Amino acid sequence: MATTPRILFNQPEAQSLQAVIYNTLGQVEKTMVVATSEGLNNYELPVSELPKGLHIIRMTDQHANSIVASFTKY
């Protein structure tokens, strides 16, 4: 049974983040906009169309603050 990767992060305010998923070569695999709420956010990463392997996600807010995490799709 496959598990969907999740990213947990705190936001000081509700806003939209620009999210980009990269492969290990730094190539963009997917871009999306993520709507967040103030406080703790638990975001399920949409990875069904990504190939198996290690990926990096960067989520950037309107003030150019970034959250970076890695995950593996099996």
Structural domain for 33, as ranges: 6-73
Q: What's the pLDDT score for residue 3?
A: 73
Domain assignment present for 60? yes
The predicted pLDDT at position 2 comes to: 59
Rounded Cα distance between 45 and 57, Å, is: 9
Asked if residue 1 belongs to a domain, the reply is no
CATH code for the domain of 60: 2.60.40.2550
Task: Quote the pLDDT of residue 68.
Answer: 95
Per-residue pLDDT of the chain (74 residues; tens, 9 = 90+): 457 889 999 999 999 999 999 999 999 999 999 999 999 999 999 899 999 999 999 999 999 999 999 999 98
Q: Which two tokens stand for residue 20?
A: 């980009």
Alpha helices (H) along 3-69: none
> What's the total number of domains in the chain?
1
